[in-house]
Chain A
Amino acid sequence: MQIGVALRLVPDASGDLDIAENGQDIDREWVDLKLNEFDDQALEEALTLKENAGATVIAFAFDGVGADRLLQSALARGADRVIKLRNPFGDGLRARAAARLLAPTIRELGLDLVLTGVLGIDEIHGQLAPFLGATLDWPHVSVVSEIRCDVGALLARQETDGGFSTTLRVRLPAVIGVQTASRPIRYASGAKLRQFIGQKIALTDSNADCGDLAAELLRLERPRSDKGAIMWEGDADQVAEALHDLLVARGLAKETMR
């Protein structure tokens, strides 16, 4: 079985995000990029399938800052091959266009299964997995948390809501939007990383008619909340005191014995 995994770098939103002067993007100058967390899960699931059922894992990424390092890390984690695709859209690459750029290479390689993260933190105009499924006319399932191989098919556990999940049998070839891998992510050892870190990664051409069906992003804004929390100031001890007093006042904790 040949498994493709589409990996994307996204802005690290754990810190401050400033809006760029044109109002239509974040100010990327001081923002780190990181592997989209769901793509990280997708890579882990592909490597788990390789271990359990035998497979060749091919990791894809689009050209851009950090793409080589991303793919070298994928090799260090156990991917068998990596492909860096030309990206004519730069930071403006959207999932719909990414699907159309990826599809010809996926067909050419004759992949059986494509995994990618269920969503990206900056994807507001559609997600890659369903766009890829529709473009390739392959069955696709999103929000998947476990994949097992079956004869000519796979069993995918889709998380629905409220703790419910559904197991679906999906005939191959197929596309899966992974939310969570079957096991916690294993990271590559330092030795493995050093083995691949200098590896040159060739650029593969990718072209497609991407049309102009995406919605237009007019501007980014900071959320305006008319609610907002009452903030306690001070060090942890002072905050713990205020918090405890509140809990006591609301009958949610007993008064401290002094």
Chain B
Amino acid sequence: MNGDVLVYVETRDGAVKPSSLELLTAARQLADGAGGMVDALVAGGPLGAVEALSGVADRVLVATHPALEQYLPEAHAALLRSVVAERNPALALFAYSAAGLDLAADVAARTDRAVIDYCVKLSATGREIETTSLIYGGKLRAVSRARSPAVAVIVPGAYPEARPDPARRTTTVEIAAPPRLDALRTAFVVETRPAEGTVDLAGAAKILCVGRGIHDKDSVEVARQVADALGAEIAGSRPVIDNGWLAKERQVGKSGCRVKPKLYLAAGVSGAPEHLEGMSGAELIIAINTDARAPIFGVAHFGATCDLFDLLPALGERLGKGRAA
């Protein structure tokens, strides 16, 4: 690979999201190997984000326009197409996020580039980029090859967050907003923030999380009793929430809450990458799943493949005889 690496930077409340800082680590490794520069594109140009990228990227590309102030997929895609067409980076990097899902394939399709998703590892030799991706819910890895210029989407947690290097001189480059921003078919209406004061999963010391393997709402109630005996919050992975068995504020994972409890007991959770993203930092992870190859066992500290419908009552009985610590 020869050339520059472009990173699409996501922000919240003016700050760079951790997943974007992780992209910048990958970008630095690849750009250094290719003799290229790391370009960080900040749509809307919030000052805090631009300052945070000083000493991290070589160039911070800033575009300002009223349509870029909030995240609008159509507006950000138009900006990206314009930047990619003009600067022709060898590789454009996105985080595996809602924005990454909107933008990476769009930009690849409209600028005739290959795109590779769910990457946990990237390397480059000459014009060839080799990637390792998660596939089949993380049960397998897929090794792919593409020729640059290309687009890649990286799973959060695959790389450490980039830290500023005081010796690195970062320049800020103003990018012209593309004309298409004045004729958008998409408009921002409102952002909804997580409800406060209902459940504080992020601050919970102990969480019992049930997954698809819990099968039905009645069984969730059995798990809830065990959680109560344990002094834990009950939580669910996406399928449990989608089925309406638990409220949305109890979802752990990409679309839900990111948690870091002292204890995370996962019952019937397979461990899709979107779920692991939200809980792999827990201090003690215990997983119960009848599938010995479930990806959750890759991050768990302890596990068992027994039937959770037998295990939960047995555990509840023991906890009931003592009391939660």
- What residues of chain A have their CB less than 8 Å away from a CB belonging to chain B? 11, 13-17, 19, 26, 37, 41, 95-96, 99, 118-119, 121-127, 129-131, 133-135, 139-143, 145, 155, 157-171, 174, 177, 179-181, 183-184, 213-223, 225, 227-237, 239-244, 246-248, 250-258
Contacts and interface: CB of A to CB of B under 8 A. Distances in A.
B69 interface: no
B297 to A, nearest CB: 5
Given A167-B190, A240-B311, A240-B315, 11 more contacts: A124-B117, A124-B133, A126-B115, A130-B105, A134-B106, A142-B73, A145-B255, A169-B189, A221-B143, A239-B288, A256-B322
Contacts of B150: 215
B324 A179 contact: no
B143 A218 contact: yes
A143 B138 CA distance: 19
Point out which of A14, A183, A213, A221 has the most chain B C-beta atoms below 10 A from its C-beta: A213
Given A124-B116, A162-B258, A232 B303 contact: yes
Contacts of B133: 124
Contacts, number: 294
Contacts of B188: 166, 168-169
A166 B305 CA distance: 39
Contacts of B130: 218
A159 B98 contact: yes
Report, nearest first, the 9 A-B pairs whose CB atoms are least far apart: A236-B310, A163-B194, A240-B314, A229-B303, A254-B322, A215-B146, A134-B109, A126-B105, A130-B105
A166 B70 contact: yes
A37 B137 CA distance: 12
B230 interface: yes
A83 B132 CA distance: 35
Given A155-B189, A229-B303, A222 B140 contact: yes
B6 to A, nearest CB: 17
Nearest to A245: B318
B306 A253 contact: no
Contacts of A181: 242
A38 B262 CA distance: 32
A127 B101 contact: yes
A163 B259 CA distance: 12
A126 B108 contact: yes
A6 to B, nearest CB: 14
Given A139-B185, A215-B146, A124 B118 contact: yes
Given A229-B301, A231-B305, A243 B286 contact: yes
B140 A17 contact: yes
A213 B132 CA distance: 18
B306 A234 contact: yes
18 contacts: A16-B291, A125-B117, A126-B115, A130-B106, A134-B106, A139-B73, A139-B185, A163-B194, A164-B193, A166-B71, A169-B186, A184-B244, A215-B131, A220-B143, A228-B298, A229-B297, A237-B310, A244-B318
Contacts of B242: 41, 180-181, 184
A13 B136 contact: yes
B257 interface: yes
Contacts of B175: none
Contact of B318 (A134, A218, A240, A251): A240
Given A123-B117, A159-B98, A227 B298 contact: yes
Nearest to A257: B321
A247 B302 CA distance: 11
A150 to B, nearest CB: 9
A179 B144 CA distance: 26
Nearest to A41: B242
Contact of A163 (B139, B238, B249): B249
A125 B298 contact: no
Contacts of B110: 134
Contact of B304 (A135, A216, A231): A231
Contact of B101 (A96, A142, A167, A217): A142
Contact of B243 (A184, A221, A223, A244): A184
Nearest to B117: A124
Interface in B34-87: 70-74
Contact of B137 (A121, A230, A232, A237): A121
Contact of B109 (A119, A131, A164, A234): A131
